[in-house]
Structure 1
């Protein structure tokens, strides 16, 4: 069975509650839905979230690279020749989320052909993941109220606090208020999105040393090489690489050169194939990983659950899976449900990314 066509469909869905953080803000999901069709009529689906302030991709650039560069080279390739597909994709530099979506759509088709859930094809470790929720920039009392609401309503008790603000006391206060209000049983960690310098990050770590934070993600720009390595070497908690480790090579570099000692894995930017390589590398090195959130829709979140539940190593920590709750609507045909702080893997063959056609027709912006 061969690839017959790849389609890139732009769409926009507004957020009820915009997310603000150090490197930008998100007010609507201006995403691209990728559809990979076979010569026998099967369709694989994936979602692509442009993040111009992180990876340099936009809706227009994703559509262009998928339809003008990737599709002409991939049409006619057997769907089971996954490494051949990877080789074709990686002739083109950057464009991480566009590549990731094509790979996920390919896996979705493979699962449907074989009549198996992709999570089982990848590893089949568990049927659900524990959920972590991201909290954006807000006054500390509002953050606590929101966290308490998510714990009461969804059973979520792990929270990522977006930080990277100046003055530093805003984020220190937020972390302290969350710890005091949620209690010791809550898992808390911070993500500065490169908003501080290494010196500022070290000061925040000093001021929050008594709060039992799990780790600090992207405290500063990883290109601040000496400061970043000094920070990671002396930090009392792990320093996580996220946007500085968007692919396998970058992840290896950050770990081997001391820029980080924990890795975020995001299927939206690495697909399933490269993400599995990152997880295998990390496990072999004794480095923990966690499933990150690209501010995903439910379609993207379903892919993250499918992947994260497949491996023991990715299932250890809570996964960032709940920020679709801030959206006004979504495209997923079978909506995800968070119960007791967990999301179950979508049932059925494929990656669980099937969309509601009426909603897609309503929200797409190319017609």
Structure 2
């Protein structure tokens, strides 16, 4: 039996290429918890725990994720079976919640398992049905003219042709005017969606849904509190435009309730928010059975978390609303030895063993919060390498 020998964590802080305005916070840097697992057969794996806007978004922070793994997860899994399924089963039995921490460790174990077997992680998740994933871009400067110019540049570069706007921080009428102006400027060249990040109450949301539908918006993401599933069902029943659940989906149980109550037209699948790759697959399975559309979500992860998500999303039979795996593009520094392939409005899913990527450890060390300059073993090491 292959066992887990060590689990190490460190935080990297990387500036973003521009400020990213959400309803609850404005991001200028992204903090990522990198997890390095070494197994008894010498195979190593890497994972990532990343959230948005610190504790203003959710109940896990980078510091909390690292502490949970260092003090609770690592001692629990030391010497245990390195199988992702068995390790995550042990975690579920012993640790409540902490989905982002669990996902980071499970990702590292899947990376190691794929390297051990000589196959991509997507093959361990059932097998990919696509090699490229459509990727949208979020326009989050808050300035209409700047957002239009940014979108036109992305279209000209053939990098993105679907755009999501972060709204909910300003007055409803002002927000809708901003969205409508961008849609008019781009016309049929692009799909326009909005993300309210739970900022509206239900009365405001009813007005907003109607106004945004009139502006030809294709999708409205989590307009009200994720806890208000009944309210989401009422907004979905309006039938004006597609309503997507995001923050309300904290794993398969939440997905089942949303499906049962017809509380969304679309599910945003996020592996970290779901509690891991296998939990994310379960959320998608519930959606598919219920006839709910799928969208590949993000926590604005860096390259590790984004590619882990990509391996799962590549296995989905349907992906009607594409993905938003643009997190690495938002970072001011590329942390990979070989950049990801973002061309023709899509992202290529790596085909190498495990996650199929290699970090540039010199760049990673430059952004480590602890300033540690020790030589770190390359995560690209495979069996016999």
Deviation at 1:21, TM superposition (A): 0.8
Distance in 1 (alpha carbons) for counterparts of 2:321 and 2:229: 28
C-alpha spacing 1:118/1:97, structure 2 compared with 1 (3 Å): same
C-alpha spacing 1:246/1:90, structure 2 compared with 1 (3 Å): farther
Distance in 1 (alpha carbons) for counterparts of 2:134 and 2:70: 36
Distance in 2 (alpha carbons) for counterparts of 1:177 and 1:15: 26
Distance in 2 (alpha carbons) for counterparts of 1:230 and 1:177: 28
Deviation at 1:24, TM superposition (A): 1.5
The answer to whether the 8 A contact 1:2-1:78 is kept is yes
2:10 is aligned to 9
Distance in 2 (alpha carbons) for counterparts of 1:4 and 1:196: 47
Distance in 1 (alpha carbons) for counterparts of 2:56 and 2:94: 23
Q: Does 1:36 align with 2:37?
A: yes
1:334 is aligned to 338
Distance in 2 (alpha carbons) for counterparts of 1:230 and 1:127: 37
**Of 106-115 and 77-86, the range deviating more from structure 2:** 77-86
Deviation at 1:84, TM superposition (A): 4.5
Q: Does 1:292 align with 2:293?
A: no
1:95 pairs with one of 93, 98, 103: 98
Q: Does 1:354 align with 2:358?
A: yes
2:108 is aligned to 105
Distance in 2 (alpha carbons) for counterparts of 1:175 and 1:45: 39
C-alpha spacing 1:100/1:297, structure 2 compared with 1 (3 Å): same
Distance in 2 (alpha carbons) for counterparts of 1:341 and 1:275: 24
Normalising by structure 2, what TM-score? Answer: 0.90
Deviation at 1:150, TM superposition (A): 1.1
1:216-251 Cα shifts (integer Å, max 9, x gaps): 111011334554332222241222111110211122
Distance in 1 (alpha carbons) for counterparts of 2:228 and 2:81: 43
The answer to whether the 8 A contact 1:23-1:194 is kept is no
C-alpha spacing 1:11/1:207, structure 2 compared with 1 (3 Å): same
Distance in 2 (alpha carbons) for counterparts of 1:329 and 1:237: 37
Q: Map 1:56-205 onto structure 2 (within 5 A).
A: 56-80=59-83, 82-89=85-92, 91-122=94-125, 123-205=127-209
Deviation at 1:280, TM superposition (A): 1.2
The answer to whether the 8 A contact 1:214-1:238 is kept is yes
Q: Does 1:256 align with 2:281?
A: no
* SS state at 1:184 partner: helix
* SS state at 2:248 partner: helix
Deviation at 1:282, TM superposition (A): 1.1
1:207 pairs with one of 211, 218, 235: 211
- Segments of structure 2 that go 5 or more residues without pairing to the other structure are 373-385
The answer to whether the 8 A contact 1:299-1:332 is kept is no
Q: Does 1:230 align with 2:266?
A: no
Deviation at 1:90, TM superposition (A): 5.1
C-alpha spacing 1:292/1:250, structure 2 compared with 1 (3 Å): same
2:245 is aligned to 241
Deviation at 1:105, TM superposition (A): 0.9
Deviation at 1:77, TM superposition (A): 2.1
C-alpha spacing 1:317/1:232, structure 2 compared with 1 (3 Å): closer
